Amino acid sequence: MIQIVRSQLADVVSGIKADRNITVKASDEALKKIVHLAYDPAYGARPLRRYVEHTLATEIGKNILTGAYSEGTSILIEPNLDVKMYEGSSPSEEEEPENLFRFVVVNPQ
CATH topology of domain 2-105: Helicase, Ruva Protein; domain 3 (1.10.8)
List, in sequence order, every beta strand (DSSP E) within 1-109: 23-26, 74-79, 101-105
Find the mean pLDDT for residues 72-84.
Answer: 80
pTM (2 decimals)? 0.78
pLDDT at res. 81: 67
22-69 pLDDT, tens per residue? Answer: 999 999 999 999 999 899 999 988 999 999 998 888 889 899 999 999
The ranges assigned to domains in the chain are 2-105
Question: pLDDT value at position 80?
Answer: 80
Average pLDDT in the chain: 82
Of 36, 53, 45, the residue nearest 91 (C-alpha): 36
